[in-house]
Amino acid sequence: MVDLKGQYDKIKPLIDNAIQDVIDKSSFIKGTQVQLFEKNLASYLNVKHVISCANGTDALQIAMMALNLKPGDEIMVPAFTYVATAEVISLLGLTPILIDVDNETFCIDTKLIEEKITINTKAIVPVHLFGQCANMDEIELLAQKYNLFIIEDNAQALGSQYTFRNNITKKAGTIGTIGITSFFPSKNLGCFGDGGALMTNDDNLAKKITMICNHGQSQKYVHDIIGVNSRLDTIQAAVLNVKLNELSNYEKARNQVADLYDKLLGNNPKIKIPKRSSSSTHVFHQYTIQINATERDNLKSELLKLNIPTMVYYPIALHMQKAFNLDHKIGSLPVSEVLCKTVISLPIHTEMNKNQIEYIAQSINTILQ
């Protein structure tokens, strides 16, 4: 699904030097590379503050802590996403309100949010799934109308740009009250372990987030609020500083793969290729097609016989996960439930060549005749 070794080989001397430098200075925690990376990412995204942390899941949790969300508060979140998005909501004793997604973009269906808003609703957490932005025009309107926070889960769409109806363009993760992202190795900007970050334009929130990431500390051994220990290691920051320079090339490479897949698979009547949003660019964290549920698992196993890996993101919608203990009935979030049975994600990464893409597409077209 990814070729992290191939990607590393192309920038090996830069990465190796950056890591060696951290070891030589033995500045493993809060070394200069960490602040430098926060600055570099902030300028890449055109946002005032980037605060790094240990992983994307922590970033979500820290965002909700910083916004003072309290047990009983209801948080709107799509039912078709990675578990982390809703997990931290439950962990903090908040109530996840799962919303169905749009069949074309896989993102939260903004037409279904308003009917679920109550006096307890405090925030919407749009997930920019697979690499393109949710409908942020509608989400901003709802947030203004009902005075809600927006926490963008931007773990999969770093670099993606959203153009509002008034023609203003912003980078994903910088639109809401707080944006979060992940540097898990297979994400579009991945480090060599775990990493994450929060983005905000609000100075006070940035201060609070920085404190929460570091045990709620305002000065050494002075703790004003309850926080966590969630920091980006200096070695990871050093790797990310090198790889951030490559991010736009990585985005181009992924789009080239997607364009070729579109061309080779788009005419197969059994395949629904991913829809490109008219208001968002796509960074193709995943290239996810939809096919008939009766053929999906067979396609997956036939491709595996040809050494072609595929993944089902995601096989179970969140309202059907035991962990959340929600009393949703089957059919209550129908689009999410159907997608779990019909989606399949194909290999897409920065090191793919034309032959590989053609081999995969031809194999799929042969199986799905």
Specify the 3-state DSSP secondary structure of 324. helix
User: In whole angstroms, how close is the CB of 166 to ligand PLP at the nearest point?
Assistant: 27
Q: Cβ closer to ligand PLP: 44 or 184? A: 184
User: In whole angstroms, how close is the CB of 83 to ligand PLP at the nearest point?
Assistant: 8
Per DSSP, helices labelled H in the chain are 4-10, 12-25, 32-45, 56-66, 84-91, 136-146, 203-213, 234-244, 247-265, 293-305, 334-342, 354-367
Q: Cβ closer to ligand PLP: 265 or 336? A: 336
Q: Rounded to the nearest 10 degrees, what angle do helices 234-244 and 12-25 cross at?
A: 150
Length of the chain, in residues: 369
Q: Cβ closer to ligand PLP: 63 or 367? A: 63
User: In whole angstroms, how close is the CB of 79 to ligand PLP at the nearest point?
Assistant: 13
Binding site for ligand PLP (CB under 6 A): 55-57, 81-82, 84-85, 127, 153, 155-156, 182, 184, 194, 196
In terms of Cα–Cα distance, which of 193, 192, 191, 188 is closest to 172? 188
Q: Cβ closer to ligand PLP: 14 or 92? A: 92
Q: Cβ closer to ligand PLP: 94 or 364? A: 94
User: In whole angstroms, how close is the CB of 184 to ligand PLP at the nearest point?
Assistant: 4
Q: Cβ closer to ligand PLP: 59 or 335? A: 59
Q: Cβ closer to ligand PLP: 42 or 59? A: 59
User: In whole angstroms, how close is the CB of 197 to ligand PLP at the nearest point?
Assistant: 10
User: In whole angstroms, how close is the CB of 269 to ligand PLP at the nearest point?
Assistant: 31
Place of tokens 């334009």: 201
Beta carbons of 240 and 191 less than 8 angstroms apart: yes
CA 88, CA 86: separation in Å to the nearest integer? 6
The β-bridge relationship of strands 49-53 and 196-200 is antiparallel
Residues in CB range of 210: below 8 A, 6 or more apart: 51
Beta carbons of 188 and 250 less than 8 angstroms apart: yes
CA 327, CA 325: separation in Å to the nearest integer? 7
Please give the DSSP secondary-structure letter assigned to residue 315. S
Q: Cβ closer to ligand PLP: 214 or 345? A: 345
User: In whole angstroms, how close is the CB of 34 to ligand PLP at the nearest point?
Assistant: 16
User: In whole angstroms, how close is the CB of 26 to ligand PLP at the nearest point?
Assistant: 26
Residue nearest to ligand PLP (CB): 56
Q: Tell me, what amino acid is at 177?
A: T
Residues in CB range of 272: below 8 A, 6 or more apart: 289, 290, 291
User: In whole angstroms, how close is the CB of 226 to ligand PLP at the nearest point?
Assistant: 21
Beta carbons of 132 and 108 less than 8 angstroms apart: no
Q: Cβ closer to ligand PLP: 33 or 55? A: 55
Q: Count Cβ atoms below 10 Å from residue 163 Cβ, excluding itself.
A: 17
Beta carbons of 270 and 334 less than 8 angstroms apart: no
